Amino acid sequence: MKFNTKTIHGGQKHDPSTGAVMPPIYQTSTFAQKSPGQHQGYEYSRGENPTRSALENALASIEGGVAGFAFGSGLAAIDGVLKLFAPGDEIIAMDDLYGGSYRLFTRVYQKYGLVFHFVDMTNVDAVLEKMNDKTKMIWIETPTNPLMKVVDIEAVATKTKAINPEVFVAVDNTFASPYLQRPIELGADIVMHSATKYLGGHSDLVAGAIVVNSQQLAKDVHFNLFATGGILGPQDSYLVLRGIKTLAVRMDRHCANGIKVAEFLDAHPKVDQVYYPGLPSHPQHEIAKKQMKDFGGMVTFTLKSAKKEDAFTILENLHVFTLAESLGGVESLANHPATMTHASIPADKRAEIGITDDLIRLSVGIEDIEDLIEDLKQTLDRV
């Protein structure tokens, strides 16, 4: 099956008891057994639930992996991966990361003895320099949140595995979605999603996903999910599955609107930098063209004035865009990373990686582009 067919049918079968085309929401904690240990594959919903299984099969199908797992949030999904490791193990991570991922690494897992090295992976040699015999995983995010840096997944996977074939290459694929980028096809072992974003697509749930490319990883990640319990409930599993079915058509519109917003901002006299991998001026534009089908709906920009007050004025006066955390829904959102999504990164660290106080991040939705541009125009006129 090709990708768009997989989003509708991948890993899915009609409900065996009724023929229901969509999987029923199995709102149950437990399953009756005929005799002790004699059941129909389901015992207790922390281990397996049929609605969650339907979503997990769809996730594996669209990412081209061996198995998928649905967690209660994106961070719970990352947590389910970090529990593969033991004190002293080392992880090399991208330096520009979703703030919550950075917080989980540095404020939770460092306490348990995992060692993290943060490097700018747009330079692959910087990753190789940090590798040693304790390195267990490379954690890539691409495009990054919020600076839209692009990491060459294939180059990182090939070069790190040439040094140590056992090292896991993991990709947070939230910003691209599997419609635009499929890391397993590029050599990754683990793909992670905040399914809250493009997979769910409607800003109506919080969910996370892991897809793996080996039976051993499938066994180990499932064990972590089952043993520590960060599962996604059946209602939200159903909603993510429903979201996946329209992923391709939604992404096409996000991309079409994304490039137009980026071009509008790029030409605007009040705007300084525009970070969008679809612009030829983006430093990794060629890599983005190679590994992504299109460039997505996330656009970040700074102001010529470089003033925080101006960024606030712009954000307070948007009418079609909503000032809110999160991204990837059908509606356009605007965000001030320094005070919102990335406030958990210390100010000096933010300054070091370029998350300045005049930085604005847009999640461009699927509304009519004329209304989005008009909204940006009127608010930029105020500063």
Binding region for ligand PLP (CB under 6 A): 73-75, 98, 100-101, 141, 145, 172, 174-175, 194, 196-197, 206, 208
Pick between residue 80 and residue 100 the one whose CB is nearest to ligand PLP: 100
Pick between residue 81 and residue 311 the one whose CB is nearest to ligand PLP: 81
Pick between residue 240 and residue 380 the one whose CB is nearest to ligand PLP: 240
Distances (CA, A) of 182 to 34, 79, 124, 217, 333: 42, 21, 19, 18, 25
Q: Residue 236 Cβ, how far from ligand PLP at the closest point, in Å? A: 11
Pick between residue 100 and residue 297 the one whose CB is nearest to ligand PLP: 100
Q: Write down the catalytic residue from 15, 46, 161, 266.
A: 46
Q: Write down the catalytic residue from 6, 136, 182, 197.
A: 197
- 184, 176, 194: which is closest to 77 by C-alpha? 194
103 is catalytic: no
172 is catalytic: yes
| 267/269 Cα distance (integer angstroms) | 7
Pick between residue 146 and residue 379 the one whose CB is nearest to ligand PLP: 146
Q: Residue 354 Cβ, how far from ligand PLP at the closest point, in Å? A: 17
- Cβ-based neighbours of 210, under 8 Å, separated by 6 or more: 68, 69, 71, 77, 80, 81, 190, 191, 192, 193, 221
Q: Write down the catalytic residue from 152, 172, 357, 375.
A: 172
- Cβ-based neighbours of 87, under 8 Å, separated by 6 or more: 112, 113, 114
Alpha carbon of residue 338 to chain centroid: 19
Q: What three-state secondary structure class fits 83?
A: coil
111 is catalytic: no
Q: Which helix (H) or strand (E) holds 359?
A: none
Q: Residue 68 Cβ, how far from ligand PLP at the closest point, in Å? A: 16
Q: Residue 155 Cβ, how far from ligand PLP at the closest point, in Å? A: 21
Q: How far apart are the first and last CA of the chain?
A: 51
Q: Residue 335 Cβ, how far from ligand PLP at the closest point, in Å? A: 10
Q: Is the Cβ–Cβ distance between 68 and 192 less than 8 Å? A: no
Could you tell me the two tokens for 244?
């996946």
Could you tell me the two tokens for 4?
């768009």
252 is catalytic: no
| 232/360 Cα distance (integer angstroms) | 31
**Which residue's C-beta sits nearest to ligand PLP?**
74
Q: Residue 196 Cβ, how far from ligand PLP at the closest point, in Å? A: 4
Pick between residue 97 and residue 167 the one whose CB is nearest to ligand PLP: 97
Q: Write down the catalytic residue from 26, 98, 179, 238.
A: 98
Catalytic residue ranges: 46, 98, 172, 197
